[in-house]
Amino acid sequence: MSATEIGPRIPLGAWIESGVDWVTDAFGVLFDLVRTILVASFDAAETLLTSPPWWVVVAVLSALAFWAKGWRLGVGALLGFVVVLGVDQWDNAMASLALVLVASFIALAIGIPLGVWAARDDRVSATVRPVLDFMQTMPAFVYLIPVVVVFRAGVAPGLVATIIFALAPGVRFTELGIRQVDREVVEAGHAFGAPPGRILRQIQMPLAMPTIMAGVNQVIMLSLSMVVISGLAGTRGLGREVVSALSTIDIALGFEAGLAVVILAIYLDRITSALASRSPVARALQATAAR
Partner 1 sequence: MTILAADGVFKVFGRRPGEAVRQLRAGASRDDVRALGTPAVIDASFTVEAGETFVVMGLSGSGKSTLLRMLNGLWRPTAGTIRLGDADLGSISARDLRTLRQERVSMVFQHFALLPHRTILENAAYALAVRGVDGAERRRRAGEALEMVGLGGWEDHLPAELSGGMRQRVGLARALAAGTDVLLMDEAFSALDPLIRREMQDQLVELQQSLGKTIVFITHDLNEAMRLGDRIAVMRDGRIVQIGTSEQILSEPANDYVAQFVADVDRTRVLTAGSVMVRPRAVVVVGAGPRGALREMRDAQTSAAYLVDRNRRLLGVLRDDDVLAGQRRGVETLAELTRDEVTAVGVDAPLAEIFAPSAETPLPVPVVDDDGRLVGVIPRVTLLEAMAPTESANGDGSGGTAAAASAPPGRTNGTLSAPATAVPA
**Contact residues for partner 1, defined by CB under 8 A:** 182, 184-185, 187-195, 198, 202-203, 206-207, 279-281, 283-285, 287-288, 291
- Residue 278 CB, nearest distance to partner 1 (Å)? 12
Residue at 244: amino acid letter: S
**Would you say 111 and 105 are in contact if contact means Cβ atoms under 8 Å apart?**
no
Residues whose CB is less than 8 angstroms from the CB of residue 202 and which lie 6 or more positions away in sequence, other chains included: 189, 194
Q: Which is nearer to partner 1, 88 or 187 (CB)?
A: 187
Q: Which is nearer to partner 1, 137 or 291 (CB)?
A: 291
Cα-flanking dihedrals φ and ψ of residue 131, to 5°?
A: -60, -45
Q: Which is nearer to partner 1, 123 or 291 (CB)?
A: 291
- Residue 35 CB, nearest distance to partner 1 (Å)? 41
- Residue 127 CB, nearest distance to partner 1 (Å)? 22
**Pure H helices in 51-204:** 54-68, 71-86, 90-120, 122-137, 140-151, 155-180, 183-191, 196-199
Q: What would you measure as the largest C-alpha separation in the chain, in angstroms?
A: 72
- Residue 290 CB, nearest distance to partner 1 (Å)? 9
Q: Which is nearer to partner 1, 207 or 233 (CB)?
A: 207
Q: Which is nearer to partner 1, 71 or 192 (CB)?
A: 192
Within 10 A of 279 (CB to CB), how many other CB atoms are there? 18
- Residue 108 CB, nearest distance to partner 1 (Å)? 21
